[in-house]
Amino acid sequence: AEEMMINSEKLSIAGQLAAGIAHEIRNPMTAIKGFIQLMRPEYTTKKQYFDIITAEIERIETIVSELLILSKPQELNYTKTDILLLLSEITTLLKTQAILKNVEIIGEYTSTPIYIYCEKNQIKQVCINIIKNGIEAMPDGGEIRIQVKKEKDGVILSFLDEGVGISKELLEKLGEPFYTTKEKGTGLGFMVSKKIIENHGGNIKVSSELGKGTTIEVYLPSHRKK
């Protein structure tokens, strides 16, 4: 109950509204998608309309899911978590996807546990967002290296890619909702990640060089934010 309160306090009115809308939209959308699939006339010219509708609904689904990650107050569960173990889980999860894009994810850390106090699913989501952005930034493949540095009161996770990089102009806009350079992007992943990290009492730093790559540094405190 305590977690619930802390979280709803942190959510702005707009955030609560967004969460409410996201919930309300998701269920009817799932139903519509299901029925459209059932009606699909495989061998007529209408097929492409069905496919477009389905693709558009899927896009709304993605946006709604990304917004929902921000606010699931009832499911927030802060626990003492070994960040290295979590990173290994995430790497395993993304391996297949990475291989398909010729990307190698390299964890440059040992396995001696480093504990932080966090909402595991949210931190997992942040790491997935960052690594996926790294993969998407390297259309010809490359490496994503993950480094972990223990600090006095926390830990710094660094994600280094060899991708296209981010221009100065974009760097300033990063964190604004719906800003994307991708055809199928939502421009929500980074904003959501930033919010989650800030809710944990941490911060995200981005440094990038066009054509060289990007480094995302995530600082997370080891203990609960007061």
Interface with Mg ion by CB under 5 A: which residues?
133, 189
Q: Is residue 84 within the footprint of ligand ADP (CB under 6 A)?
A: no
Cβ-contact 33, 52 below 8 angstroms: no
Beta partners for 205? 217
Q: What gap in Å lies between CA 214 and CA 134, rounded to an integer?
A: 8
**Which of 125, 190, 204, 220 contacts ligand ADP by CB under 6 A?**
190
* DSSP secondary structure letter of residue 73: G
CA distance 145 to 138: 13
- Angle subtended at Cα 117 by Cα 114 and Cα 118, rounded to the nearest 5 degrees: 110
Taking CB atoms, the residue at the shortest distance from ligand ADP is 185
Q: Which is nearer to Mg ion, 6 or 63 (CB)?
A: 63
Output the six-digit token pair for 154. 């926390």
Q: How far is the CB of 168 from ligand ADP (least distance, A)?
A: 13
Confirm if 163 and 213 have CB atoms less than 8 A apart. Answer: yes
Residue 214 engages ligand ADP in binding (rule: CB under 6 A): yes
From the list ligand ADP, Mg ion, none, which binds 166 (C-beta under 5 to 8 Å, kind-based)? ligand ADP
Q: How far is the CB of 163 from ligand ADP (least distance, A)?
A: 4
Minimum CB separation from ligand ADP for residue 217, in Å? 12
Taking the alpha carbons at both ends of the chain, their separation in whole angstroms is: 16
146 near 87, Cβ under 8 Å? yes
User: To the nearest 5 percent, what fractions of the chain are helix, strand and coil?
Assistant: 50, 25, 25
Out of Mg ion, ligand ADP, none, what residue 163 binds, judged by CB under 5 to 8 A for its kind, is ligand ADP
Of these partners, Mg ion, ligand ADP, none, which one is at the site of residue 186 (CB under 5 to 8 Å by kind)? ligand ADP
Q: If binding is defined by CB under 6 A, does position 135 make contact with ligand ADP?
A: no
Least Cβ distance, residue 132 to Mg ion (angstroms): 6
Q: Does 187 bind ligand ADP (CB under 6 A)?
A: yes
Q: What does 164 interact with, of ligand ADP, Mg ion, none (CB < 5 to 8 A by kind)?
A: ligand ADP
